[in-house]
Structure 1
Amino acid sequence: MTGEHPVTRSLRLLWHGLPPARKGPRPSLTLDQIVRAAIAIADAEGLDALSMRALARELNVGTMSLYRYVQDKAELMHLVLDHVTVRTVEDGTPATDWRTMLETISQDARQMYLAHPWLLQVNWSSPVLGPGSVGDLERTLSSLTELPFSDRERIMLVTLLDAYVTGSVRQEVLFDQASALTDLTYEEFWELQLPFLEAAMESGRFPTMAAMSEDSFSGGWEETFELGLTLLLDGVEREVARRESASHASPPND
């Protein structure tokens, strides 16, 4: 449509797919093929390597032919992001308690970011919402309907969980990237620092750290994530119990 805003075109593609071809050769690609190829490039080479030219080469088509389907990289990213947000908690999953659902959803989100670490480079503050992302949010919110929270608070809780997941995974991904960029192994890196740290601990200036057990820094990323998620959801559970107790204690309205 002439004069159509790029965001509107992206939304049409997300919700309605490609429009029927009016003239010219019949489309030889599907949006799903295009999106999957784009994700494969980003997974293998990083987000910076994903371009319309690289995507056309991956699909074995001319770059100009690709523009018949997707107008530019920004539009392509709208399709890609909506695709990757579809988690493993599918429609029809038997209903369970809110805590189990949030644990599953958070674990799925962690695995999504670990599988596609380039997602951490994307600014999702103003997402173009397609059926994948809306469906994902619907599944998450459906697990919170029984909580004694307002709709606004439920959205805040979802935002809080996402912030925890992305922050945790970002640390893990950055750690792996830092290890890959140095010419030292993990063990060699810390062996170089050991004499300085031992002297610091023996100086008496850092008594709390000096008294810590030898395995204090041996916790793995998954173990750390599980502990943080448990503590976060424990807090939600206590707030739920507090509100329910207050509700039962309140005298009925006349």
Structure 2
Amino acid sequence: MASPARGSRGRGRPTSALLTRDRITDSAIALVSRHDYRHLTMSALAEELGVSTSALYNHVSSKREVLILIQERLNAQIDCTGFGIHPWDRALRTWAHSYRDCFIRHTALIPTVAVLPVADSPETLRMYEQVAQGLHEAGVGDADVVDIIVGVEALVFGAAYDASTPTDIFDPGNRTDIAPTFTRLASARPRSSRAAADRAFGTALDTLIAGLHVRLGREKDDE
């Protein structure tokens, strides 16, 4: 039997040379999306990639580095370009909708990405900088800018989960007597769970932005 030509690779597992950080990120996202964030371990990721764990460690130093790669990938998809171009309320609305859309596609990643420090994530820092500059230039007080960003993120992550809830989540079954008003009003919502989630998110975001308008107006009056 002829031996493989020098320099050629036989069949079997890909060698670690075929690994790239993009491929590692793709596989990590796929692994979490298919199961949940608790299944993301270095050994499970190596198996997903078809390589040894030691080969994986040649490209990323730890699970934390993998999580940062995921954070970078997702936050790079979020549109915050409207700040500095459009009025702050339009830019904030675009950013929030884009943020939610991203995490509707990757809801399983919220528990990991939402709690990562920003120090090693340039894309996250760039996003926050654009939003912070836009709010600051709109007249939002220094003490409130980051709180508003955190508040929008809390709304976004909750709304991303809401978009995947079952259609009968508010069905009280045979306990209508406990909450008759809520049951009647919940039954009037759109039948599509996604349409209901979109409406709820839009209402909450509009309310937040309207409140910010009032607050900014009061602060200007006090100057």
| TM-score normalised according to structure 2 size | 0.76
Secondary structure of 1:241's match? helix
- Mark the CA change 1:164 to 1:215 in structure 2 (over 3 Å): closer, same or farther: same
- Mark the CA change 1:238 to 1:35 in structure 2 (over 3 Å): closer, same or farther: same
Partner of 1:209: 181
Partner of 1:239: 215
Deviation at 1:160, TM superposition (A): 1.3
Pair 1:110-2:103 in alignment: no
Partner of 2:123: 132
- Mark the CA change 1:229 to 1:91 in structure 2 (over 3 Å): closer, same or farther: closer
- Mark the CA change 1:214 to 1:222 in structure 2 (over 3 Å): closer, same or farther: closer
Pair 1:120-2:82 in alignment: no
Deviation at 1:92, TM superposition (A): 8.6
Paired letter, 2:213: E
Partner of 1:38: 28
Deviation at 1:75, TM superposition (A): 2.5
Partner of 1:100: 90
Give the distance between the partners of 1:64 and 1:49, measured in 2 at CA: 18
Q: Which runs of 4+ in 1 moved over 3 A?
A: 25-28, 90-94, 123-126, 170-173, 210-219
Partner of 2:173: 193
Contact 1:87/1:136 (<8 A) preserved:
no
Secondary structure of 2:173's match? helix
Secondary structure of 2:46's match? helix
Q: Which blocks of at least 5 consecutive residues in structure 2 are unaligned? A: 1-14
- Mark the CA change 1:213 to 1:70 in structure 2 (over 3 Å): closer, same or farther: closer
1:138-180, Cα deviation, whole Å (9 max, x unpaired): 221232132222333111111111122223333444x34xx8x
Partner of 1:151: 142
Secondary structure of 1:89's match? coil
Q: 1:86 is matched with which residue: 71, 76, 80?
A: 76
| TM-score normalised according to structure 1 size | 0.68
Identical-residue share of aligned pairs (%): 22
Deviation at 1:123, TM superposition (A): 6.8
Secondary structure of 1:193's match? coil
Contact 2:16/2:56 (<8 A) preserved:
no
Contact 2:100/2:157 (<8 A) preserved:
yes
Give the distance between the partners of 2:161 and 2:82, measured in 1 at CA: 31
Contact 1:89/1:139 (<8 A) preserved:
no
Give the distance between the partners of 1:149 and 1:127, measured in 2 at CA: 24
State how many pairs are aligned. 204
- Mark the CA change 1:242 to 1:217 in structure 2 (over 3 Å): closer, same or farther: same
Contact 1:144/1:154 (<8 A) preserved:
yes
Q: Which blocks of at least 5 consecutive residues in structure 1 are unaligned? A: 1-24, 180-185, 248-254
Paired letter, 1:226: G
Paired letter, 1:73: K
Deviation at 1:102, TM superposition (A): 0.6
Partner of 2:11: none
Secondary structure of 1:149's match? coil
Summarize the alignment of residues 67-86 of structure 1 with structure 2, pairs less than 5 Å apart.
Answer: 67-86=57-76
Q: Which is higher, the Rg of structure 1 or of structure 2? A: 1
